[in-house]
Amino acid sequence: MSESRPACTSAGGGIAARILARLAGCRSSTFIARFAANPAGKLALLLLALTLLAAFAGPFLAPQDPYDPAALDILDARLPPGSAAAAGGTYLLGSDEQGRDLLSAMVYGLRLSLLVAGAGTGLACLLGAALGLTAGYFGGRWERLVLALADLQLSFPALLIALALLALSGPGLAKVALALAASQWAYFARSARAAALVESGKDYMAAARLQGLSHARLLWRHLLPNCLPPLLVILPLQLAAAISLEATLSFLGLGAPATEPSLGRLIANGFAYLLSGQYWISLYPGLLLTLAVTAITLAADRLAAVLDPRRQEG
């Protein structure tokens, strides 16, 4: 019944690639080719691939498990890049104040940051999309209530909301993810509502209503698929914002525990040593955090161009 884009047959790629390709009205291979059709797209793919490789394959290749206290030696604390470890091997990027291999700690911390931020952003997307779609579809008092709550949430900085929630509930990775979701859902709700208002007035929705379909079927089988493109565009942008917010919370001591540091905690660990010349403890985790946020932001910008039918530059 949907008439927004032609159906297509996937030609490889994962589930996410096939979903995006279908929304773009093309094959998976064609979608990737369009995504990487200009230098910005190629750079986005390269940085995103490096970030994901470091996060999810890096821990299997890391020379040390930084979460294992038995693998740490306090005598190796704050060694500069290229130093030899007491137990053998080389600290390519140096070590931190607890004697952890900084390279190993960074790839483990990147994975933790992505998982926590991804969980929070995913929960925010589910909650915001559900509220926004139903608000745009049903209208009336429900729509006014959702908009009022969204406006209230957006009137406060995301960091302030997260800090207030964590101050009430205490630190913890699951609580950080919930705090991220609570500070982000309004962006998805407003985007979903705007898309639902546009799509609800189209002919395919009128035809579906004439068939006597239930509200649930109209919402999730007809309205939702055609409201996905704007949600998928802001999803990576909010993920990048969530990574930065999680790093800020961890830097302040409200995120990951000291025994399992994320990138924000690693930056905080080396902050006190910056003026003493031991720059690497904070510098390299900060550079990796910048790389991850930049990669996701560039990918979001290119995704918006590919999914927008009015932009044909490739």
- Considering only CA atoms, which of 127, 175, 116 is closest in space to residue 150? 127
Residue 142 in this model has a pLDDT that exceeds 70 = yes
- The whole-chain average pLDDT of the chain stands at 85
**Residue 87 amino acid letter:** A
The DSSP symbol for 101 reads: B
Q: Centre a 10 Å sphere on the Cβ of residue 293 and count the other Cβ atoms it contains.
A: 18
What pLDDT does 153 receive?
94
What pLDDT does 23 receive?
55
- Considering only CA atoms, which of 163, 189, 187, 185 is closest in space to residue 176? 163
pLDDT (average), residues 296-301:
90
Q: What is the pTM of this model?
A: 0.86
Q: Are residues 100 and 86 in contact, defined by beta-carbon separation less than 8 angstroms? A: no
User: Which pLDDT band holds residue 230 (cuts at 50, 70, 90)?
Assistant: confident
Beta bridge mates, 90: 84
What pLDDT does 9 receive?
38
What pLDDT does 291 receive?
93
The listed range with the strongest mean pLDDT (48-57, 123-132, 203-212, 268-277) is 123-132
CA-to-CA distance for 39 and 156, rounded, in angstroms?
37
User: Which pLDDT band holds residue 10 (cuts at 50, 70, 90)?
Assistant: very low
Residue 11 in this model has a pLDDT that exceeds 50 = no
The DSSP symbol for 256 reads: S
pLDDT (average), residues 126-148:
94
Lowest mean pLDDT among 62-66, 80-84, 114-118: 62-66
Instruction: Give residue-wise pLDDT tens across range 15-27.
Output: 555 556 655 555 6
- Considering only CA atoms, which of 6, 3, 23, 7 is closest in space to residue 15? 23
What pLDDT does 25 receive?
57
CA-to-CA distance for 199 and 230, rounded, in angstroms?
12
Q: Are residues 132 and 122 in contact, defined by beta-carbon separation less than 8 angstroms? A: no
CA 130, 131, 134, 137 dihedral sign is: negative
Lowest mean pLDDT among 170-174, 175-179, 246-250: 170-174
Residue 270 to residues 4, 76, 150, 154, 155: CA-CA distances in angstroms?
A: 51, 15, 38, 33, 34
